[in-house]
Amino acid sequence: MKNPAIPRLAACALIAAVGLLPAFADGGSILIKNGTVLTVTKGVIAKGDVLVVDGIIKQVGGDIAAPPGVRVVDATGRFVIPGLIDSHTHVALAGTNEGSEAITPEADVGAVINADDTSILTALSGGVTMVHTMHGSANPIGGPNVVLKMKWGRPSEELVVGEALPTLKFALGENVKQASRTVQPGQTQRYPATRMGANAIIRREFARARNYMEQWDRFRKAAAVKNPPGSLVPPRKDLRLEVLAEVLRGERVARVHSYQATETVEFMELAKEFGFKIQCFEHIWEGYKIADELAAAGIGISVFADSWAYKMEAAEGIAYMAGYCAKRGVLVSINSDSGERIRRLFNDAAKTMKYGGLTEDEALRLVTINPAVQLGVDRIVGSLEVGKQGDIAVFSEHPLSAYTRCDLTVIEGEVYFDRDEIVKVREAAAAKAAAPRAEGGAR
């Protein structure tokens, strides 16, 4: 997250006009015909069909016949791609930061999902079907994040993608040391106030977590004997340290908000010291300086396409970052970090072709299969392949064209966004509003 102080933008006017959009139940089966199918991993099919049955892609190819009762969408002249995946955002949550203390791994965003957030609709309108929605960047160790499908209208628990890799948010730099915060009289400056402090407090917490794990090991060993002594006392269960223990055991990976090269490398050293896995650095505007180190360590990055220099630590960002790092072998994704930018991830991906020289295929990967790999869900989503879940977006033109727009968004074979339907609803609402009061209108 760029800055915890900037409130997320409110839902856009389109949603306000549409009102409540029900999820159209198609029973999880749909056939999309005659589109240009960009599978991402298996090439392009010029005039292709994609058949989803019961939520799973059954066939990708040409001339697929619709099984009885399955809805058919004609995609002639349009582009069929896997649903886009946002590797880093903060939508569909009731609260983003537990900013009161520096170390809060117990504060799990999975506990505060808000399926009523209209950002889900915004995401769908941009072809996004899955997001990694994250704790904010106010703390050196924030909280666990959660991966959601954008199933608008479904209960919150049905949005959660259980197959995804458990992650924990870390953050370094200006947000953590509260560089832009003015301490009011009577308030205390939260520790840490420097980058070295951030590194130190994270090290300290992992040392505590190690100690905690050892305590439990000793206790379990002592309790396992035949007649354990009556004076045996178990350690106190600590939710904060439990999460860090998961990281140390390799059951949960680190997602680290980081901008500058130096502190990033220092954090990589810290991870090596404690033996935990960094899955991804977030935003990392100076990533291009350490692209080879990142590639060698197998650490991905999730970044903006442009719009750097919004604060001091982002001053050395360059437009070529994503493309350059991708070419050096780093696993790159483009993220939104926002409930508004989320609807034009495809535009942002396209920028890497102009700045960075990526091919269409490479650019599209940044918002499909690459984030899927980062989230540990590439076996089930991220490309149009038989056996994967039927998460699909249909675009009016090539998704990397500046003139394209998303017409249809499908999750597990169910249509969650249909631009034609929305236009109809909106026109009806507008007509009603314009009608005289006597005829049931608002005028």
Q: Which residues bind another protein (CB under 8 A)?
A: 4-5, 7, 10-11, 15-16, 19-20, 94-102, 104, 106-109, 111-118, 135, 138, 143, 155-157, 178, 181, 187-191, 229-231, 233-234, 236-240
Q: Tell me the CA distances in angstroms from 394 to 11, 13, 24, 309, one per residue in order.
A: 23, 22, 16, 34
Closer to another protein by CB, 190 or 365: give it.
Answer: 190
Closer to another protein by CB, 181 or 328: give it.
Answer: 181
Q: Which H or E element spans position 86?
A: strand 84-89
Closer to another protein by CB, 216 or 355: give it.
Answer: 216
3-state secondary structure of 130: strand
Measured N-to-C along each axis, helices 239-248 and 195-223 cross at an angle, to the nearest 10 degrees, of 90
Rounded distance between C-alpha atoms, residue 411 and residue 24, angstroms? 11
Rounded distance between C-alpha atoms, residue 343 and residue 121, angstroms? 9
* Least spacing, CB of residue 154 vs another protein, in Å: 12
Closer to another protein by CB, 71 or 181: give it.
Answer: 181
* Least spacing, CB of residue 256 vs another protein, in Å: 19
Quote the tokens at residue 240. Answer: 């904060």
Closer to another protein by CB, 40 or 107: give it.
Answer: 107
DSSP labels for 301-320?
Answer: EEE-SS---SSGGGTT--TT
* Least spacing, CB of residue 171 vs another protein, in Å: 12
Closer to another protein by CB, 55 or 95: give it.
Answer: 95
Q: Which H or E element spans position 148?
A: strand 146-149
Rounded distance between C-alpha atoms, residue 29 and residue 42, angstroms? 22
* Least spacing, CB of residue 160 vs another protein, in Å: 12
DSSP 103: B
Rounded distance between C-alpha atoms, residue 210 and residue 235, angstroms? 13
Rounded distance between C-alpha atoms, residue 35 and residue 22, angstroms? 26
Q: Put residue 177 in one of left, alpha, beta given phi > 0 → left and psi -120 to 50 → alpha.
A: alpha
* Count of Cβ atoms closer than 10 Å to residue 187 Cβ: 9
Rounded distance between C-alpha atoms, residue 273 and residue 265, angstroms? 12
Burial class (CB in 10 A: 0-12, 13-18, 19+), 248: middle
Quote the tokens at residue 229. Answer: 């002594």
Closer to another protein by CB, 226 or 237: give it.
Answer: 237
Rounded distance between C-alpha atoms, residue 102 and residue 427, angstroms? 49
* Least spacing, CB of residue 144 vs another protein, in Å: 9
* Least spacing, CB of residue 255 vs another protein, in Å: 16
* Count of Cβ atoms closer than 10 Å to residue 275 Cβ: 12
Closer to another protein by CB, 178 or 374: give it.
Answer: 178
* Least spacing, CB of residue 42 vs another protein, in Å: 38
* Least spacing, CB of residue 289 vs another protein, in Å: 30
Closer to another protein by CB, 76 or 231: give it.
Answer: 231
Closer to another protein by CB, 146 or 364: give it.
Answer: 146
Alpha carbon of residue 75 to chain centroid: 28
* Least spacing, CB of residue 237 vs another protein, in Å: 5
* Least spacing, CB of residue 198 vs another protein, in Å: 13
